[in-house]
Chain A
């Protein structure tokens, strides 16, 4: 009786581990899909162009666009 009980418990634990593993694999897959999806949207600026829509994080500053007719206080060209 004790042996059967222990066997059932072992089977249950193994099943839970397998389920957790599958869930983790799926989660990684979804995350990877979301990550690559960030790279494919397109927009244009002053002619043809493309862009990703990756969100900024606290690792990077969040820029905003100037309004129409907005002029610069400084210029970043190449130099």
Chain B
């Protein structure tokens, strides 16, 4: 069970299951909860229709069936794909959206809620050289080469949190925190002292509470979450097509957008011992498989 489900749901909070995890919103005005939840649900539905790799009717799947021909895409899908390609560029390909087929080959070929406990074939690499540079995006046209299946999961969830938080704050004029699994975005004014976030991966793992200033974000990536089969998890190393070696059990990063935070936390998991160079001075907390904790960039003790 995701840890978030164990938190109390007060008058200022709403939460519901989505995308194999939990969506949770907290607002500064409890009276705004229903309207805020409706806005976030609408944002989630729009993103799902645009880029789910589990829906035959999603825009992304249609683009994948075009066999390399240019396909017109909506502004939303263009933004989502653009964010994924930017993340690949910023991380030297450590976060690569072309791992979709490799994920399917490992058994992650449907909503994660349907995978838990399912028997899967031994890990195989479906095709040898997924490479984000083969994907071409202009403002309204996408070209996905034949044989490449895009998976925007690493960045789409984080960008959705950013978009949803901004939309709630703008439409309702309240402060809001949007949490989608490990991805947290905030917008509008924060409660006095900041947004309080429990940083903990699994029950029993080391934990701390940090306070986020208004307009900041926090993302965690984990090799202990979304696991199935024999030691399989959902963060693939694009260089091998297999789950990243668990040098880090959990990496949490704070930034001014959830997309940026998630890009860094995911890349840190993939890069393993090379994470330090990538993270630079970003506030980050890294947990080893032995549950030792490394804090960087002013992450509070």
Contacts and interface: CB of A to CB of B under 8 A. Distances in A.
B289 interface: no
The size class of the interface chain B forms with chain A is 35 or more
B31 interface: no
Contact of A66 (B206, B209, B220, B293): B209
Given A46-B293, A78-B221, A79-B225, A65 B210 contact: yes
B138 interface: no
Contacts of A59: 281
Contacts of A53: 298
B212 A77 contact: no
A45 B293 contact: yes
B295 A49 contact: yes
Nearest to A59: B281
A34 B120 CA distance: 51
- Is the contact region of chain A dominated by helix, strand, or loop, or is it mixed? loop
Identify the interface centre among A45, A55, A63, A65: most chain B CB within 10 Å of its CB: A63
A51 interface: yes
Given A46-B206, A60-B283, A71-B209, A79 B294 contact: no
Interface string A57-79: 10111111110001111111111
Contacts of B219: 76
Interface stretch (B69-77, B103-111, B194-202): B194-202
Contacts of A24: none
A77 B209 contact: no
Interface in A13-63: 43-57, 59-63
B281 A57 contact: yes
Contacts of B291: 46-47
Contacts of A57: 281
A71 B200 CA distance: 12
Nearest to B221: A78
A63 B212 contact: yes
B301 A45 contact: yes
Interface stretch (B81-89, B140-148, B249-257): B249-257
A73 B3 contact: no
Interface string B281-301: 111000000011111111111
Contact of B209 (A44, A49, A72): A72
Identify the interface centre among A48, A59, A75: most chain B CB within 10 Å of its CB: A75
Interface in B197-228: 197-202, 206-213, 216-226
Given A47-B293, A73-B195, A78-B222, A64 B211 contact: yes
Contact of B225 (A45, A46, A64, A78): A78
B149 interface: no
Interface in B177-193: 177, 179-184, 191, 193
A74 B184 contact: yes
A60 to B, nearest CB: 6
B282 A63 contact: no
Given A64-B300, A74-B198, A78-B226, 17 more contacts: A43-B295, A43-B301, A45-B293, A54-B298, A55-B281, A60-B281, A61-B254, A61-B256, A63-B299, A66-B209, A71-B7, A77-B4, A77-B181, A78-B223, A78-B250, A79-B180, A79-B181
6 contacts: A52-B296, A63-B283, A64-B211, A65-B300, A76-B199, A77-B225
In order of increasing CB-CB distance, the 9 nearest A-B pairs are A78-B222, A79-B181, A72-B198, A66-B209, A65-B300, A49-B293, A46-B206, A51-B295, A78-B225
